[in-house]
Structure 1
């Protein structure tokens, strides 16, 4: 029986996408025990996953301390894993991999390291370009495994598994119209639209379609969310008193919503893993081809400034100066006037207009 450890010390979306590594390894080693090491605040997206036998929670800040890192590495070594998979290749995870004693250690080859560093026995290069509708980020993670093990039919679609009890979540039962989840703020300022822009989108949806709007944001962003709410025209169409602080709670809430409109991030991947339609607004600073997954223009679609105004991505001196002077310059160019026609097409396919 193989003992396998996957280390994914990164954010929520990455943890969900990398769960595909466990899914595909179970096809090769159905009787294996697969442990998944993740930051403690990300576990909600992998609970009840049948391919993951044990979730090992680590604290992000603590792991950056050298004594804690080596203590964690020694704990891993004592478990005598046969296979280690490190899909992020961060300093901490590389140290844990190297000291694990595992005979098979799989990680990504850094483009600028030739020959590759000795953290892994299998250094897998990133794909040059995507070839599947799942997007390059998912394709790279699956390729990490299929490059080492023979898998006839790899799985490329992440899933989020809810229990029967969780399926009965009832906080939205009192509402007799579809509920649209709005991811109103990104995880960082560079992933967040200007507030006035998101207000315009909310006003458009609540004026045009027979729905309620529900906000999602991180707990520390509540004041910002309230600022956005107070600027909206149709507060009677906004559900502001229902909110889940945990990732798992958000998944239960999202599962009862009709669809998601959001800045690109982990919530989009959660919605897709729940088979909910998504309209994604990409930050101009994020590579769309890496993170845009399963887009068909109907169930899942997105918008990126590069597709609308490629001339803004010129590398001339004047353009660079504008971006240096105002880091949000590019995001301000992705205006509601550009977004709303695309959003309206998406909503017409899924909703009834007023």
Structure 2
């Protein structure tokens, strides 16, 4: 079982471990322990046989976490690869009963694992440090890949066709490059000044022939409109502000 809690990007990145394990042996059965709100990014991944889902309620309640750990132990896993390596997953790994447990080296939890690795700080391949540090966890299993690997998102043909239909219904010319820009951060501190973001969009529209989509969530609509209105008229002609994914899978299909 591979463990990677929390963020969507981390869950997608760590999915390369499953791909490498399957490439090494198609007889291996791979379970992926992730948070339930991140499933969409690895849905339909052919290298993952089963998802084991955690919810915020589990980590906030000791009794629920204990029952969850018991359910993990009942699976009788041979190997646990704990990519996340925080207290909750330290406990899962420790009580899993797995013969081999692999994780990142941390002084306070290294005794839990049979194999640990320190993160490297200089890239050796084109994969990037985030992937290289994860792939180190495959060394004890002799499943380290021979060539660089990158995470992939697996969309169905129906999802792709639905995205194309949505774009064409909004009269977006698909022969022109389409880019989606996250114009707003998750908080005010992480958001570029709105007028400055508009100037950036003006620059892009002036120097490139493209169509632009905004990536924002419904409660950010007013701020997204403010940025749109700050833009020059010719820039606004390139922006389709009402086209956005209503779910993560829809968002992924639009940007594919």
Q: Once the two structures are superposed, what CA deviation does each residue of 1:303-341 show, in whole Å capped at 9, x if it has no partner?
A: xxxxxxxxxxxxxxxxxxxxxxxxxxxxxxxxxxxxxxx
Deviates more, 1:154-163 or 1:239-248: 154-163
Taking the TM superposition and a 5 Å limit, the aligned residue runs for 1:309-328 are none
1:214 is matched with 213
Q: TM-score, normalised by structure 2?
A: 0.88
Alpha-carbon distance, 1:190 to partner? 5.3
Deviates more, 1:190-199 or 1:18-27: 190-199
1:53 is matched with which residue: 39, 42, 49? 49
1:120 is matched with 113
2:240 is matched with 239
RMSD of aligned Cα (Å): 2.1
Alpha-carbon distance, 1:77 to partner? 0.9
Q: Once the two structures are superposed, what CA deviation does each residue of 1:47-105 show, in whole Å capped at 9, x if it has no partner?
A: 11111011222223542322222221111111111111111111111111111111111
1:195 is matched with 194
2:12 is matched with 16
Q: What is the DSSP-based 3-state SS (H/G/I as helix, E as strand, rest coil) of the residue aligned with 1:214?
A: strand
Taking the TM superposition and a 5 Å limit, the aligned residue runs for 1:152-191 are 153=146, 155-168=148-161, 169=163, 170-173=165-168, 174-176=171-173, 177-189=176-188, 191=190
Maintained 8 Å contact 1:18/1:87: yes
Q: Once the two structures are superposed, what CA deviation does each residue of 1:4-54 show, in whole Å capped at 9, x if it has no partner?
A: x11111201101100011111112331121111111221111111111011
Maintained 8 Å contact 2:20/2:145: no
CA distance in 2, matches of 1:153, 1:236: 47
1:105 and 2:101 aligned: yes
CA distance in 2, matches of 1:62, 1:188: 26
1:285 is matched with none
1:300 is matched with none
CA distance in 2, matches of 1:254, 1:17: 18
CA distance in 2, matches of 1:119, 1:226: 51
1:144 is matched with which residue: 128, 137, 141? 137
2:68 is matched with 72
Q: 1:91 to 1:213 in 2, by over 3 A?
A: same
Maintained 8 Å contact 2:57/2:64: no
Q: What is the DSSP-based 3-state SS (H/G/I as helix, E as strand, rest coil) of the residue aligned with 2:111?
A: coil
Q: What is the DSSP-based 3-state SS (H/G/I as helix, E as strand, rest coil) of the residue aligned with 1:118?
A: helix
Alpha-carbon distance, 1:120 to partner? 1.5
Q: 1:61 to 1:238 in 2, by over 3 A?
A: farther
Deviates more, 1:77-86 or 1:147-156: 147-156
Structure 2: runs of 5 or more not aligned = none
